[in-house]
Amino acid sequence: MSSILLQTCRLAASQSRRPALLATATKALGVGIEDASLRSSYGKMQIRSFGRKGGRMGKHLQNLDEMAHREAKKKGNNNKKGKKSNDEASAPATMSYEVEEIVIEEDENETKFDHGGNEDDDETPSLPKKDDVKGRMMKVVNNMEDSFKAIRGAEPSAELFDSVQVKAYGAMTPLSGVAQVVIASPTLATISCFDPDTAPGVRDAVRDMPGMNFNPQIDEGTVNVVIPRVSAETRLAIVKQLKNVAESTRQRVRRIRRAAQDVVKKGKDGNLGPGISEDDAFRAGKDIDAVTDECIQALNQVVELKEEDVMKV
């Protein structure tokens, strides 16, 4: 069989139209064109008639031709595969959205009612004022709501960039002071800089937003930000985090209430001075409980709205 294949190789070598056939056949035999037996015959070969063996030779030629065709096809597929890989490599990487921990700074003075919240009078003790207690509680709730703006929902909003600080003109400036944010589509935000010279600073500030992994690009004074869609798994993680932040904020509101009620208790016990009656202290205590319920309700509403925004499909 090897002799027959060798003869077939020599026949193929004499036909300039079949170089691929020769290469495939010699590879199958484990020899190269530089092999001595083939090299010595390469220039002398002529077309031969195989007589009765012609049918077998023709079949072998056909088989070798098919082998060459398969090799060429395989090589073409590999080239296409390589081209596809290059295209994928040049395509922009898919961005991910990481769930960052929300940290809200606490005010150590929010629970101090040394003089009933009346700081203007350092000598005369008084009961906590209803408006003062509510103001402290709502400040905590509003801080929580502001922190939620940096968390994107199912659909992005311009508020996502409210906390961005840009280095411009030698100072840190809020993004809203140097540019306007427009949500062009659910996956694209355009930031138009009032001064094109600030575009690099805006780009860097947006790129460094915690947990976002944005890759903003500058286009003639406009910073384009591709915003990835958030997966269902990530949204569930965000909602879990929102609940944790809401609970810690409720605890802060309750600590303010407890601190105020401690002062009220002193008034009920007659320890705040003769000018404060037990009835006054009792009314103050009811007012504090009422504003606490009001602020907790406002807190719950903020969290519910944000959860709906995150989970909206």
Domain tally for the chain? 2
Give SS3 for 224: strand
In a domain, 95, yes or no: no
Predicted pLDDT of residue 305: 92
Residue at which a domain ends, from 198, 226, 254: 226
Predicted pLDDT of residue 295: 97
Q: What is the CATH number of the domain that holds 221?
A: 3.30.1360.40
Residue at which a domain ends, from 51, 67, 90: 90
In a domain, 176, yes or no: yes
CA atoms within 13 A on the CB side of 295: 31
In a domain, 239, yes or no: no
In a domain, 139, yes or no: no
Give SS3 for 191: strand
Predicted pLDDT of residue 220: 87
Instruction: Report the C-alpha gap between 101 and 150 in whole angstroms.
Output: 11
Predicted pLDDT of residue 108: 79
Predicted pLDDT of residue 312: 79
Query: Pick from 165, 166, 218: which is nearest to 191 by CA?
Result: 218
84 and 8 together in one domain: yes
Return the structure tokens found at 135.
Answer: 């103001």
In a domain, 267, yes or no: no
Instruction: Report the C-alpha gap between 99 and 229 in whole angstroms.
Output: 14
Residue 139 burial (CB count, 10 A): 15
Rg of the chain on CA atoms, in Å = 40
Q: How many residues comprise the chain?
A: 313
In a domain, 83, yes or no: yes
In a domain, 107, yes or no: no
In a domain, 11, yes or no: yes
162 and 86 together in one domain: no
Each of the 313 residues of the chain gets a pLDDT tens digit; together they read 445 544 554 554 444 444 444 454 444 444 444 444 444 444 444 444 444 444 555 555 555 556 555 655 555 555 544 443 333 333 333 334 455 556 677 777 888 887 544 445 555 678 899 999 999 999 999 999 988 887 877 778 888 898 899 999 889 999 999 999 999 988 899 999 999 999 999 999 999 988 788 899 999 889 999 988 878 888 888 899 899 999 999 999 999 999 999 999 988 888 877 778 888 899 999 999 999 999 999 999 999 999 998 887 6
Residue at which a domain ends, from 183, 198, 226: 226
Report phi then psi at 192, rounded to 5: -90, 115
| Residues spanned by the domain of 165 | 158-226
